[in-house]
Chain A
Amino acid sequence: MSIQSEDVLKIAHLARLGIEPEQVESYASDLSNIMVLVEQMNQVDTSDIEPMAHPLDQSQRLRADVVLETNQRDVLQENAPAIEDGLFLVPRVID
């Protein structure tokens, strides 16, 4: 399937990914080429095959619902771009 510039803009929005307007066309062309590669999968009939999500077909392990971590807010916020009073700052969301 060929991916057009408008598809790229739509996907970039879905992924909340800013891309330069002058690069849209080259992304469209790269992604179209990758799709040509991907569509080789259609050479094989997989209608009766169960999808495989995990190489060893394991399911997720469960654990007891107990608190293991200690509160490390200050340490974790050292990497934050903007904080105030222990809160993460973002631009105003609600007016």
Chain B
Amino acid sequence: MYNKSLKELSASLRSKEVSSVELSQYFLARIKHFDGELNSVITSNEEVALSTAQQADKIIASGEGGLLTGIPLLHKDIFCTQGLRTSCGSKMLDNFVAPYTATAVNKLELAGAVMLGKTNMDEFAMGSSNETSFYGGVKNPWDLETVPGGSSGGSAAAVAARLAPLASGTDTGGSIRQPAAFCGITGIKPTYGRVSRYGMIAFASSLDQGGAMAKSAEDAAIMLQAMSGFDEKDSTSVDKPMDDLLAGLGDSIKGLRVGLPKEFFTEELDVDIREKVEAAVDALKSAGAIIKEISLPNINLSVPAYYVVAPAECSANLSRFDGVRFGHRCESPKDLEDLYKRSRGEGFGNEVKRRVMMGAYVLSAGYYDAYYKKAQQVRRLIKQDFVDAFKEVDVIASATAPSVAFTSGEKKDDPVSMYLSDIFTIGVNLAGLPAMSVPCGFVDKKPVGMQLIGNYFEESRLLNVGHQYQQLTDWHLAVPTGYEQEA
């Protein structure tokens, strides 16, 4: 049951082989059985889930609904869920019960999906290993000594361990793609503006984008289709209809032009990973794709520019956590300034503090031009490199991350080395492009991901390439040892 595709699960629901209540109970039992050691789900929604599933069963019985009706899923705890704790992985919001629901969650609810719970994440989505969560790190089901990646590490680990068929994620610098790669699942971050940011707790507003995490490109396509779309409530939402993402999945990729950026195939990339990615590219070639070397001359500046833009926006966004209207408040503040400082000091963890300070620094008087303006200019150069590349190719392929999942604690005290684990993913966010990660093999029994980057609004093509690749390979069907048993 746990390895069935969404289409298969939906067919089982339609044929009454299983009910949505039974399916929800099945995955809830897997969460109870397996998640003790993984720590991927931090809030259960069991009671509400079962009543939602009952509703879904009625809809199915009446012959209504769609592919997602009655399908269980998990949401990253960055998405506000009315009546259910929304912590963003932070002590600051440990007691926060969202008064409204994020548009992306709402859309999936309207499509009939059943929310089983909320997944663990790096605090305020700031991290690449899940170790910054107030609720403790998540373990990678492929090797419990290693991290699942981040910041959507809870979602990635849960889907990898088959605790749910789907999970939502968000991606500000690689937070869907890098954990998807580390956990051997498929994750897609669409073009900036495709998924509403309303009710998605803001980290860096010009970079944040919600997306889908699933076992396969096909499942991710179904989920992304349901969660995306124009939203009046998000001023950066794009008013452009999403393509029919399922319709194009089966298209041939004969003649597809695939670009390999030479800057992404250097000595920074682990040789064994390089070999796996090249084999994946060969598979695309065998299906008729044309492979070309391309150049993104300024891409090496994406991590430096990102660590100005993201902290600057983070420091502005996180100023709302002041201990007054919601969130953590310190004990017996002596005055208002003491209330602000201690509430924020106690409520935020180290990495969040680092980034808030970094942001306050680059935005402070006298430094704005040297850092923030400079970063925004570099950002345009990086975008222009991609625009030029897409005149020559249809998609760009690379490794998603320069290494496989690293050991817990390895990079925890070295922020710069942690930041560099996102070197292949960050440029995409600065440019606002869609990109995905698909599993393409194993190194030392740990999953490797291939990143596919598409032109603006070409999610359909990306998913088509991912799906075609998954017709030729079965890496995406591999289940970590121990989790292939029934709960």
Tell me whether A and B are bound partners.
Answer: yes
Q: Are B304 and A41 in contact (CB under 8 A)?
A: yes
C-alpha spacing A14/B341, complex, angstroms: 10
Which A residues touch B96, using CB under 8 A?
Answer: 79
Label chain B's interface by main secondary structure. helix
Shortest CB distance B263–A (Å): 14
Tell me which of B381, B415, B456 contacts A30 (CB under 8 A). Answer: B415
- By the criterion CB–CB under 8 Å, are A16 and B232 in contact? no
B380 touches A33 (CB 8 A): no
- Bound form: Cα–Cα A30–B326 in Å: 30
Please, how many angstroms separate the alpha-carbon atoms of A60 and B360 in the complex? 24
| Chain B residue contacts of A71, Cβ below 8 A | none
Shortest beta-carbon distance from B289 to chain A in Å: 27
- Chain A residue, CB-CB nearest to B344: A17
Q: Are A91 and B335 in contact (CB under 8 A)?
A: yes
In the complex, the chain B residue whose C-beta lies closest to that of A79 is B326
A31-63: contact bitstring with B at CB < 8 Å (1 yes, 0 no)? 101101111111110100111111110101101
> A38–B325 contact, CB under 8 A?
no
The complex places the Cα of A38 from the Cα of B338 at a distance, in Å, of 32
* Contacts A17-B356, A49-B377 given; does A56 touch B415 at CB 8 Å: no
Alpha-carbon distance between A91 and B378 when the two chains are bound, in angstroms:
44
The residues of A that contact B374 with a CB separation of less than 8 Å are 41-42, 46
Stretch at the interface among B30-38, B63-71, B131-139, B346-354: B346-354
B206 partner, pick from A30, A53, A81, beta carbons under 8 A: A53
Q: Which residues of A contact B362 (CB under 8 A)?
A: 38
Contact A11 B308 (CB under 8 A): no
B360 and A14 contact, CB distance less than 8 A: yes
A76 to B80, CA, bound (A): 13
Whether A34 and B235, one on each chain, are in contact in the complex, defined by CB atoms closer than 8 angstroms, is no
Distance (Å) between the CB of A82 and the closest chain B CB?
7
Query: How far is the CB of A61 from the nearest CB of chain B, in Å?
Result: 6
Contact B357 A11 (CB under 8 A): yes
Among the interface residues B346, B353, B361, B375, which one has the most CB atoms of the partner chain A within 10 A?
B361
Sorting the interface of chain A by its residue count into under 10, 10 to 19, 20 to 34 or 35 or more gives 35 or more
CB within 8 Å: A-B pair count: 171
Structural contact, B376 and A34, CB atoms closer than 8 A: no
Q: Are B377 and A50 in contact (CB under 8 A)?
A: yes
Choice from B232, B303, B329 contacting A81 with Cβ under 8 Å: B329
Q: Which residues of chain B in 303-324 are interfacial with respect to chain A, using CB atoms and an 8 Å cutoff?
A: 303-305, 307-308, 315, 319, 322-324
Per-position binary interface string of chain B over residues 82-99, scored 1 when its CB falls under 8 Å from any chain A CB and 0 otherwise: 000000000000011101
B107 at the interface (CB under 8 A from A): no
Contact in complex: A14, B380 (CB < 8 Å): no
Q: Are B376 and A11 in contact (CB under 8 A)?
A: no
Query: Is B377's CB under 8 angstroms from A27's CB?
Result: no
B315 touches A41 (CB 8 A): no
Which of A79, A82, A92 lies at the interface centre, i.e. has the most chain B CB atoms within 10 A of its CB? Answer: A79
Instruction: Give the most central of B298, B353, B362, B431: most A CB within 10 Å.
Output: B353
B199: min CB distance to chain A, Å: 14
Q: Is the CB of B298 within 8 A of A44?
A: yes
User: Which residues of chain A have C-beta atoms less than 8 A from B232's C-beta?
Assistant: 63
Interface contact B415-A33, CB-CB below 8 Å: yes
Q: Give the distance in Å from the alpha carbon of A75 to the alpha carbon of B477 in the complex.
A: 45
A78 within 8 A of B: yes
Is A17 in contact with B345, judged by CB distance below 8 angstroms?
Answer: yes
**Residue in chain A with minimal CB distance to B369:** A51
The verdict on B192 contacting chain A, using a C-beta distance below 8 Å, is: yes
Using Cβ atoms and an 8 Å threshold, which residues of chain A touch B342?
A: 18
Q: How far is the CB of B192 from chain A (nearest CB, A)?
A: 4
Rounded to whole Å, the gap between the CB of B24 and the closest CB of chain A is 28
Q: B304 touching A91 by the CB < 8 A rule?
A: no
On whether the beta carbons of B307 and A34 are closer than 8 Å, the reply is yes
Given contacts A31-B357, A53-B376, A55-B383, contact A18 B345 (CB under 8 A): yes
The answer to the question of A7 belonging to the interface, with a C-beta cut-off of 8 Å to chain B, is yes
Instruction: Give CA–CA (A4, B325) in the complex, Å.
Output: 34
Q: Are A44 and B206 in contact (CB under 8 A)?
A: no
A9 CB → nearest B CB, Å: 10
0/1 string, B370-412, CB within 8 A of A gives 1: 0101111111110100000000000000000000000000000
A34 to B171, CA, bound (A): 21
B486 contacts partner chain A, Cβ-Cβ < 8 Å: no
Asked if B288 CB lies within 8 Å of chain A CBs, one says no
Name the distance in Å between B441's Cβ and chain A's nearest Cβ: 30
Listed by A's residue number, 10 A-B pairs whose Cβ atoms lie within 8 Å are A8-B357, A17-B348, A27-B357, A31-B361, A36-B416, A41-B305, A60-B236, A76-B99, A91-B334, A93-B336
Name B's A-contacting residues (CB within 8 A): 95-97, 99, 191-193, 206-207, 232, 235-236, 238, 298, 300-301, 303-305, 307-308, 315, 319, 322-329, 333-342, 344-346, 348, 350, 353-354, 356-362, 364, 371, 373-381, 383, 415-416, 419, 430-433, 456
Given contacts A51-B379, A55-B433, 10 further A-B contacts (CB under 8 A): A17-B344, A19-B345, A27-B353, A31-B361, A34-B307, A37-B303, A50-B377, A54-B206, A58-B238, A80-B326
